[in-house]
Amino acid sequence: MSLHIGSFVRHHAISTPDAPALRVGEEAMNYRTLDRRAAGCAARLRDLGVAAGDRVMIILPNCVEWVVLYQGALQAGAIPVPINPLLAAAELAAIVADCQPRVVFARAAIAAQLRQSLGDGSAVIDIDAQPFTANEADPRPLPSAGSDDVALILYSSGSTGLPKGVELSHANIFWNAQAFAFDLLRLTPQDRGLTGLPLSHVFGHTCLYSAFLFAGASITLVERFDATAVLGMIHSQKITVFMGVPTMYWTLLREPIPESYDLSSWRACVAGGQALPEDVHRKFEAKFGVQISEGYGMSEASPSVTGCRLWGAPRKYGSAGQPYLGVQLRIVDDEGRDMPRGERGEILVAGPGIARGYFRQPELTAQTFRNGWLYSGDIGYLDEDGYLYVVDRKKEMIISGGYNIYPREIEEVAHAVEGIYEVAAIGVPDDRLGERIVAYVVLEAGASVPEETLLQRCGDQLARYKVPREVRFLDALPRNATGKIDRRRLRDLGRESQ
């Protein structure tokens, strides 16, 4: 059976061609125009030699060009690979080298950086210098695609600091889009969605972008989150659904509401990326009169696993909700034995959203996807009603401002600074970011390394959100009985010094 996520736009281009699909500022693009612009883009991609199964990398912020390139790649039978443009040049180069895309689209500065680092820039297109998305064409039939065929690849850094591409199938995205559109949000074509999340992030890509196109609703595109602008758009564009990470809700909570604003269209919010503090959750709902659904997911689940239903189910603050239709959960100990309700263990997930695996990483795929179950590496428990609570992370990942950050990425950069003997990066609780990064540093005997030197090196080689917010110097890092760095003790030190 052919199942293709390009049919989201194609279906509505035929059934409701004049309905708005995208909004940028006060301008709107309907489904017919989006489909025709994507068809024009697909034709140009074919002229470049892009064939079925080739990878098309899109390193752009949220914009019309992103959407047209993404849909154009799908119509050409290619595999879109959206990448966050906030990544540092070295990180982007590593991902490009791993993915080996047929063509890369970026704006001028990033395109120039990639050409320099790659040596051969023939496949890197500066979207500012070569407009690629303005021409329309008569749409061709969508390529045939099996439900398990790769639809797209989403990249995130692995725990080793190496690039990790998650292969998501057409069936994965179909299932996730309908779960959010109907089970959670009950979307109609009259809904208008807004997010400050990058569409290259699985939350922004699937939960908002794919779900709203699936439902024939419209999406307002913004390049970055700004609380004042978000409230202005909810008022002026009659936004119905907002999605964001906890940092955004923390910021909106502190934003004054102009007396002239009418926010009555706003009916639902979704929070993800990391746990939403209960205090922020309650105060936000009280201030705006809009309920927030908090959920649990990950790229490997495309991403939705559980969600707190907005209607017809009990509200449990602090919970990530109940599984979506078709999702199964297990909580297991280190030996793989199932834990009773209320007992903590690793969260295992099975269901129609589980990814095919990691791109060209069979060993990591076999380690993470076992016997039909996704081993999440997260620690949680189920209560008596089947609500999931995520309480800790088995892995050492830091989640700051909704971004996943692995300590080794920071530590590798810091270790290269002359005079630094040891370093360990951890996350400590932060009201706004969820966690902020603190680097604990041990210097070589007699060395002197100013904090500014380390932060400058990190800023040069890492995305801004990965740069530590604070550096603390110690005589030695705490270690456990086996000689490993005791990160739990470091986190305790971080809390004690707040």
Q: What is the mean pLDDT of residues 393-408?
A: 82
What backbone torsions phi and psi does residue 220 show, to the nearest 5 degrees?
Answer: -95, 125
Most confident of 68-77, 194-203, 392-401: 68-77
Residue 2 lies in a domain: no
User: Could you tell me if 354 and 328 are in contact, meaning their C-beta atoms sit under 8 angstroms apart?
Assistant: no
User: Could you tell me if 54 and 20 are in contact, meaning their C-beta atoms sit under 8 angstroms apart?
Assistant: no
- Amino acid of residue 424: A
Residue 392 lies in a domain: no
C-alpha span between 289 and 283 (Å, rounded): 10
Residue 53 lies in a domain: yes
* Whether residue 407 sits in one domain with residue 360: no
Average pLDDT, the chain: 92
* Whether residue 334 sits in one domain with residue 454: no
**Which residue(s) pair with 437 in the sheet?**
427
C-alpha span between 52 and 149 (Å, rounded): 12
Q: What is the mean pLDDT of residues 138-166?
A: 85
The confidence band for 374, taking pLDDT boundaries of 50, 70 and 90, is very high
* Whether residue 64 sits in one domain with residue 129: yes
Centroid of chain to Cα 379: 20
C-alpha span between 312 and 329 (Å, rounded): 22
- Considering the chain, what percentage of its residues have pLDDT values greater than 70? 96
Q: What is the mean pLDDT of residues 197-218?
A: 96
C-alpha span between 55 and 81 (Å, rounded): 7
* Whether residue 52 sits in one domain with residue 141: yes
* Whether residue 293 sits in one domain with residue 188: yes
**DSSP H or E run through 366:** helix 362-368
Query: What residues contact residue 485 under an 8 Å CB cut-off, 6+ apart?
Result: 422, 424, 477, 478, 479
User: Could you tell me if 80 and 73 are in contact, meaning their C-beta atoms sit under 8 angstroms apart?
Assistant: yes
**DSSP H or E run through 27:** strand 27-30
C-alpha span between 448 and 459 (Å, rounded): 20
* Whether residue 469 sits in one domain with residue 355: no
Residue 388 lies in a domain: no
The CA–CA distances, whole Å, from 314 to 263, 291, 449, 452 equal 25, 13, 54, 49
Q: Give 306-322 as a 3 state SS string.
A: EECCCCCCCCCCCCCEE
C-alpha span between 16 and 238 (Å, rounded): 20
Q: What is the mean pLDDT of residues 390-406?
A: 81
* Whether residue 249 sits in one domain with residue 193: yes
Q: What is the mean pLDDT of residues 129-146?
A: 94
Of the residues 329, 353, 382, the one at which a domain ends: 382
Per-residue pLDDT of 314-369, as tens digits, reads 989 989 999 999 999 999 998 999 999 999 899 999 999 999 999 999 999 999 99
The confidence band for 407, taking pLDDT boundaries of 50, 70 and 90, is confident
* Whether residue 21 sits in one domain with residue 56: yes
Of the residues 354, 382, 410, the one at which a domain ends: 382
The confidence band for 271, taking pLDDT boundaries of 50, 70 and 90, is very high
- Amino acid of residue 106: A
The two structure tokens encoding residue 285: 């709902």
* Whether residue 282 sits in one domain with residue 417: no
pLDDT at 158 over 50: no
Whether residue 131 is preceded by a cis peptide bond, meaning omega within 30 degrees of 0, is no
* Whether residue 329 sits in one domain with residue 443: no
**DSSP H or E run through 206:** none
Residue 120 lies in a domain: yes
Block residue for tokens 């210097």: 443
Q: Say which range, 163-167, 178-182, 214-218, has the weakest mean pLDDT.
A: 163-167
- Burial of 286 per CB tally in 10 Å (0-12, 13-18, 19+): exposed
User: Could you tell me if 201 and 194 are in contact, meaning their C-beta atoms sit under 8 angstroms apart?
Assistant: no
* Whether residue 425 sits in one domain with residue 338: no
Q: Measuring CA to CA, which residue among 261, 262, 243, 240 is closest to residue 190?
A: 240
Residue 88 lies in a domain: yes
Task: State the pLDDT at residue 64.
Answer: 96
Q: Higher pLDDT residue, 3 or 57? A: 57
Task: State the pLDDT at residue 498.
Answer: 66
- Burial of 134 per CB tally in 10 Å (0-12, 13-18, 19+): exposed
Number of structural domains (the chain) is 2
**Which residue(s) pair with 419 in the sheet?**
none
The confidence band for 481, taking pLDDT boundaries of 50, 70 and 90, is very low
Per-residue pLDDT of 294-306, as tens digits, reads 999 999 999 999 9
User: Could you tell me if 410 and 397 are in contact, meaning their C-beta atoms sit under 8 angstroms apart?
Assistant: no
The CA–CA distances, whole Å, from 287 to 30, 43, 250, 256 equal 34, 49, 12, 10
SS3 category, 404? strand
Per-residue pLDDT of 83-104, as tens digits, reads 999 888 888 988 999 999 999 9
Strand residue runs (E) in 78-229: 79-82, 103-106, 124-126, 150-157, 163-169, 192-195, 218-220
pTM of the model: 0.85
The CATH number that applies at residue 346 is: 3.40.50.12780
Residue 38 lies in a domain: yes
Residue 165 lies in a domain: yes
C-alpha span between 144 and 321 (Å, rounded): 36
C-alpha span between 232 and 109 (Å, rounded): 30
Task: State the pLDDT at residue 483.
Answer: 56
Q: What is the mean pLDDT of residues 196-204?
A: 92
Q: Measuring CA to CA, which residue among 335, 314, 318 is closest to residue 381?
A: 318
Torsion sign over Cα 408, 409, 415, 421: negative
Q: Which domain covers residue 439, as residue numbers?
A: 398-496
Task: State the pLDDT at residue 191.
Answer: 98
Centroid of chain to Cα 361: 20
C-alpha span between 279 and 400 (Å, rounded): 18
The CATH number that applies at residue 474 is: 3.30.300.30
* Whether residue 406 sits in one domain with residue 360: no
The residue count of the chain comes to 498
List the alpha helices (DSSP H) in 157-276: 170-178, 202, 211-215, 227-237, 246-253
List the alpha helices (DSSP H) in 48-180: 64-75, 89-99, 108-118, 170-178
Task: State the pLDDT at residue 161.
Answer: 55
Terminal Cα distance for the chain, rounded: 57
- Burial of 25 per CB tally in 10 Å (0-12, 13-18, 19+): exposed
Of the residues 382, 407, 436, the one at which a domain ends: 382
- The full DSSP string for 418-487 is TTEEEEEEEEEEETTTEEEEEEEEEEPTT----HHHHHHHHHHHS-GGGS-SEEEE-SS--B-TTS-B-H
Q: What is the mean pLDDT of residues 424-450?
A: 93
